[in-house]
Structure formats: structure tokens, C-alpha cells
Chain A
Amino acid sequence: AQSVTQLDSQVPVFEEAPVELRCNYSSSVSVYLFWYVQYPNQGLQLLLKYLSGSTLVKGINGFEAEFNKSQTSFHLRKPSVHISDTAEYFCAVQRTSGSRLTFGEGTQLTVNP
């Protein structure tokens, strides 16, 4: 079975500051890794995904994430955040293509002016 731990439930930052949202996962097999964003009262939107290859993955809205197999981590980063980045962010793993996603509990990112 797979599991995901998001190490911070809330991350407050000031506008234009860098941010890192941390995600560790546990799995006995190779997995695909995802970050989704959820704005209030909306569904989830895919930010980026890691399937294989380069460990640095770039996504939408200036976000990027780095896969670290030895540390079983997939941390999300953005060099300069905007007020509009305020949302809930979810890390997820998938064992095989097309199977269920297993999500972490989420990190609430709040960007203050």
C-alpha cells in the first residue's frame, strides 16, 4: 500500500517570497507522483506530475517539484508567490497508470500582502 505525508498543514508566506511545500511518500514499488491545487469550493487542478526521467519537474503557474528517490520526497517549490496562489495543495501518488490516487492531507498555503 502507498501513503503520503504532507509535513506542513499550513504555510503562511508573504507575497513575492519563495515557498516550499513538503511531501514524503511511502511505497514498496515505484510510483507516479502528483501535485494538485484546490481553490475554495472547487475541484482539484493538476499542477505537475512526475512519471520518470528528469527529477526536476516544471508545472503550471511557475511551480516546480523535485523527485528524490533516496529520501522518498517530492517537494513543491515556487521562487516568488502571488496572492492568487492562496489555496490548498495536495500531493498524491499512483501505483500504476490509471489506478487510484492516494492523497496526502493537504497543505494550506496562505499568501499575505
Chain B
Amino acid sequence: DTGVSQDPRHKITKRGQNVTFRCDPISEHNRLYWYRQTLGQGPEFLTYFQNEAQLEKSRLLSDRFSAERPKGSFSTLEIQRTEQGDSAMYLCASSFGANQETQYFGPGTRLLVL
């Protein structure tokens, strides 16, 4: 396993711009999760997929946020019209099968909105 990968690792953008992050889960992991972590806080759940189906969305996921997993493999998280409050670390995790309680995390994408 190569682990969960995320791209980019860092993103600086201006307020009002759109950004998109990508997550590649561990191969054959059917569940994929997105979390957001602000400075000094624990991660907060945003959404998760089983294969291509989005099973749950947090109320944190405003209408400016959208996530997709079109072929049940990689996932993208898009933030439209970014705001300074969107500055955070965006973490992706994946899990699989009989051990699906265990989520394996990627290194995260750190977003700074100026």
C-alpha cells in the first residue's frame, strides 16, 4: 500500500476564488472521508463516500462546498467563493471491508485564504 495521498499539499488563494483538492485513497478502500482541521482543534467531519455514493454530509458542508467520487476511486473536494474562514487543513481518510472502523489518513492539504 502506498497510503492515502492528497494533492496539493499546500494552497494559497485569494478570497472569492475557487479551489479543488484531490484525494487518492488506499487501493481497494471503498470508503473515503473528508475532514477539516482548524488550528488548535481536532478534525471535524465533512462528508464520506462508499464507493461513488455520498452517504453522509455534515452541516459544516455549506452550499459552497461540494465533494465527488465519480468512479469510486479518487475524490475531489471543491470550495467555491472561498472565504478567510475556510483556511484550514483538509484531511482525507479511507477504510475498507472487515476493518472499516479503522480510517487511514492522508497528509492533508493546507489551505490559506488571503
Q: A interface vs B, CB < 8 Å?
A: 4, 32, 36, 41-46, 49, 51, 90, 92, 94, 97-106
Contact = CB atoms under 8 A, between A and B. Distances in A.
Nearest to A92: B42
Nearest to B96: A98
Contacts of A41: 107, 110
Contact of A97 (B40, B50, B101): B101
B62 interface: no
B4 interface: yes
A46 B45 contact: no
Contacts of A46: 102-104
A97 B43 contact: no
B79 interface: no
B107 A101 contact: no
B22 interface: no
Contacts of A97: 100-101
Interface residues of B, number: 27
Interface of B: 4, 31, 33, 35, 40-45, 48, 50, 56, 58, 91, 93, 95, 100-108, 110
25 contacts: A32-B101, A42-B107, A42-B108, A43-B91, A43-B105, A43-B106, A43-B107, A44-B93, A44-B105, A46-B103, A49-B102, A90-B42, A94-B101, A97-B101, A98-B50, A98-B101, A100-B33, A100-B48, A100-B56, A100-B58, A101-B43, A101-B45, A105-B40, A105-B41, A106-B41
Contacts of B104: 46
Given A42-B108, A45-B105, 10 more contacts: A41-B110, A42-B107, A43-B91, A43-B107, A44-B93, A49-B102, A94-B101, A97-B101, A98-B50, A100-B33
